[in-house]
């Protein structure tokens, strides 16, 4: 077995294990066994469960075949770039981790200084600096924040019903629970009304999600074995899937209607996002939608049988010019093959912040982020981080526990949001960045991700009022270190090296 095959096999073993054993997706930072994953089953029909497991194993085998044997042929450039990114993340990440944990972080000693509440960084200078740091330019548009499933999915459902020409959905997970099936039925109906409906799904993320049922899902629901097939059954919906070569995922969540309005953020399609989790999406209008449509078109082309060639033609075609002209400055930031605008921008924002940093995110496993936050706090910046009390990945919760203690050690204020918060947002001295990216190595260096950033005062104030102030008030501040066992420490090391 060559190196390529071994690496891809290891990447898929985890997914295959979850598929076969139906792992639970709930973990909590309250317990000492956070790194463990419970095994549960839903519903009384054992034959139905067995059928789902068999379908999951078949899908895992197909994904393995696509990732190892098909991707190098149809997407050679993307395939090699993803492999190169994985090597850089693994080797470079391991070296950086050693340097931070053995030299840089221990060097941050002494008493924690008082918060200075210094004057915030100059926003105009900061935006010009971002032009150089990220190689991106600001566009224009408007953002309306949609907090939690009721606000977002009500708006999404109305947009599906009112779409006149096209619906382009790019999502990490299109689950097979009862709510996701209802959304699928609505999309199928519109496609049969001659609205162009294109849906792109990440294969690995979706395969894992479809094997885990929400605790609140009705036991009578019988989930489709393949949502890609279900969406296309008796409909004109077009579906393409991302094959996850070298374990790279497409973690972007965007849905664009008629090229004029887009939804961007952290929510997938499923019952958890609609009814159970705390999360954030944005309704976006204005010229920035042209850029979002361009990103969606390129991703759709790249996922076609013509792969990189189709992606090149989509790139050469350029972005459309259909959306309106109103709005304030907004910037699209991305992660792609070890080239992350999101990472560079947020690291620079932490380094340049003079007054305050507010972050809400479910996953913290990037050591450099923790180090830069500690440095910011030690120069007098007010740094506050909101994390979920209940997480959906046990091993990542182990990493979170270790991160909590590191942050507390350096004077960072940490808050435990009740339940599962999947929000991915931050404000640095009046500059806001929010979207699909977590603070882990996969989001910051490997996966496809998309965030929006703006320093518009009205947008930042809305994010503060609708997300950060309510969530800080609802959360419990962690004032003393949490217990971390040896097993949790080992799990954290694994997470840091792998994710």
pLDDT band at 266 (very low <50, low <70, confident <90, very high): very high
Of 26-35, 132-141, 183-192, 236-245, the range with the lowest mean pLDDT is: 26-35
Q: How confident is the model at residue 17 (pLDDT cuts 50, 70, 90)?
A: very low
Read off the pLDDT of residues 144-195 as tens digits, 9 standing for 90 and up: 999 999 999 999 999 999 999 999 999 999 999 999 999 999 999 999 999 9
The region of weakest confidence among 194-203, 373-382, 387-396 is 387-396
Cβ contact 130:348 at 8 Å: yes
- Residue 475 resides in a domain: yes
Dist CA 192 CA 181 (whole Å): 16
Segments in 225-317 forming alpha helices (H): 227-232, 271, 288-302, 307-317
pLDDT at 394: 59
Is the pLDDT at 494 greater than 80? The verdict is no
Domain membership of residue 389 as a residue range: 104-135+334-498
Decide if 139 contacts 283 (C-beta within 8 A). no
Give residue 495's pLDDT.
Answer: 64
Q: Has residue 465 been placed in a domain?
A: yes
- Give the pLDDT confidence of 250-264 residue by residue, as tens digits: 999 999 999 999 999
Residues 43-49: contacts with CB within 8 Å, 24+ apart? 43/213, 43/219, 44/219, 48/222, 49/22
Asked whether residue 165 is domain-assigned, the answer is no
Residue 248: φ, ψ to 5° = -75, 135
Burial (0-12, 13-18, 19+ Cβ within 10 Å), 189: middle
Which band of pLDDT confidence, cut at 50, 70 and 90, is reported for residue 84? confident
Domain count, the chain: 1
Per-residue pLDDT at 488 exceeds 70:
no
Residue % of the chain over a pLDDT of 90: 61
Strands 382-388 and 413-417, by their bridges, are parallel
pLDDT band at 13 (very low <50, low <70, confident <90, very high): very low
Query: Mean pLDDT, to the nearest integer, of 201-226?
Result: 89
pTM assigned to the model? 0.87
pLDDT at 484: 77
Is 479 a residue whose pLDDT tops 90? yes
- The rounded radius of gyration (Å) of the Cα atoms in the chain is 22
Which of 206-220, 334-348, 349-363 is most confident? 349-363
Q: Residue 231 contacts by C-beta under 8 Å, 6 or more apart in sequence?
A: 174, 184, 187, 188, 199, 237, 239
Question: Where residue 24 falls among pLDDT bands split at 50, 70, 90?
Answer: very low
d(CA 483, CA 349): 31
* Maximum pairwise Cα distance, the chain: 67
**pLDDT tens per residue, range 285-334:** 999 999 999 999 999 999 999 999 999 999 999 988 887 788 999 999 99
Tell the burial category of 238 from Cβ atoms under 10 Å away from its Cβ (0-12, 13-18, 19+).
Answer: middle
Find the length of the chain.
499
For 210-232, letters b (16+ CB in 10 Å) and e give bbbbbeebeeebebbbbbbebbb
3-state secondary structure of 88: helix
In a domain, 316, yes or no: no
In a domain, 460, yes or no: yes
Contacts of 187 (CB under 8 A, 6+ apart): 160, 167, 169, 197, 199, 231, 235, 237
One-character DSSP codes across 445-473: IISBEEEEEE--HHHHHHHIIIIIHHHHH
- Tell me if 408 is assigned to some domain: yes
- The CATH number of residue 426's host domain is 3.30.870.10
User: Is 479 a domain residue?
Assistant: yes
Q: What local confidence, expressed as pLDDT, does residue 499 receive?
A: 57
Let me know if residue 409 belongs to a domain.
yes
């Amino acid at each position: 077995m060559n190196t390529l095959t071994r690496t891809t096999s290891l990447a898929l073993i985890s997914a295959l294990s979850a598929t076969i054993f139906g792992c639970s997706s709930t973990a909590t930072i309250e317990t000492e066994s956070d790194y463990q994953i419970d095994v549960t089953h839903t519903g009384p029909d054992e034959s139905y469960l067995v059928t789902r497991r068999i379908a999951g194993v078949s899908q895992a085998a197909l994904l393995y075949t696509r990732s190892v044997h098909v991707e190098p042929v149809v997407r050679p450039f993307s395939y090699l770039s993803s492999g190169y990114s994985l090597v850089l993340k693994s080797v470079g990440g391991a070296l950086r981790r050693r340097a931070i944990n053995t030299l840089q972080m221990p060097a941050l000693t002494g008493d924690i200084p008082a918060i200075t509440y210094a004057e915030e960084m100059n926003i105009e200078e900061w935006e010009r600096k971002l032009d150089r740091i990220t190689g991106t330019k600001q566009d224009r548009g408007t953002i309306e924040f949609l907090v939690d499933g009721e606000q977002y999915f009500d708006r999404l459902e109305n947009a599906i019903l009112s779409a006149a020409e096209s619906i382009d959905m790019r999502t990490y997970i299109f689950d097979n629970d009862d709510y996701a099936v209802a959304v699928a039925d609505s999309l199928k109906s519109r496609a049969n009304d001659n609205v162009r409906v294109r849906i792109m799904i990440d294969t690995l993320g979706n395969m894992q999600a479809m094997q885990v049922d929400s605790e609140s899902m009705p036991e009578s629901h019988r989930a489709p074995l393949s949502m890609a097939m279900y969406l296309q059954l008796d409909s004109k919906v077009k579906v393409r899937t991302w094959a996850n070569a070298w374990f790279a995922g497409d973690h972007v969540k965007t849905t664009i209607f008629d090229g004029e309005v887009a939804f961007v953020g952290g929510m997938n399609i499923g019952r958890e996002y609609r009814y159970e989790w705390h999360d954030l999406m944005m309704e976006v209008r204005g010229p920035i939608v042209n850029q979002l449509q361009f990103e969606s078109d390129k991703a759709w082309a790249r996922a076609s049988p013509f792969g990189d060639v189709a992606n090149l033609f989509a790139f050469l075609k350029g972005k459309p010019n259909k959306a309106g002209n109103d709005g304030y400055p907004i910037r699209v930031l991305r992660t792609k093959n070890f080239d992350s605008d999101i990472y560079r921008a947020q690291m620079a924002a932490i380094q340049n912040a003079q007054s305050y940093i507010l972050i809400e995110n479910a996953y913290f496993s990037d050591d450099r982020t923790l180090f830069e936050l500690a440095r910011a706090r030690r120069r007098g910046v007010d740094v506050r981080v909101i994390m979920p009390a209940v997480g959906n990945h046990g091993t990542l919760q182990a990493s979170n526990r270790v991160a909590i203690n590191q942050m507390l050690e350096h004077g960072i204020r940490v808050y435990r949001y009740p339940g599962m918060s999947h929000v991915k947002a931050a404000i640095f001295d009046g500059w806001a960045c929010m979207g699909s990216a977590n603070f882990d190595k996969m989001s910051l260096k490997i996966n496809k991700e998309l965030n929006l950033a703006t320093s518009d005062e009205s947008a930042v104030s809305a994010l503060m009022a609708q997300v950060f102030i309510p969530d800080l008030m609802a959360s419990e501040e962690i004032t003393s270190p949490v217990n971390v066992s040896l097993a949790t420490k080992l799990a954290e090391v694994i997470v840091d090296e792998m994710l």
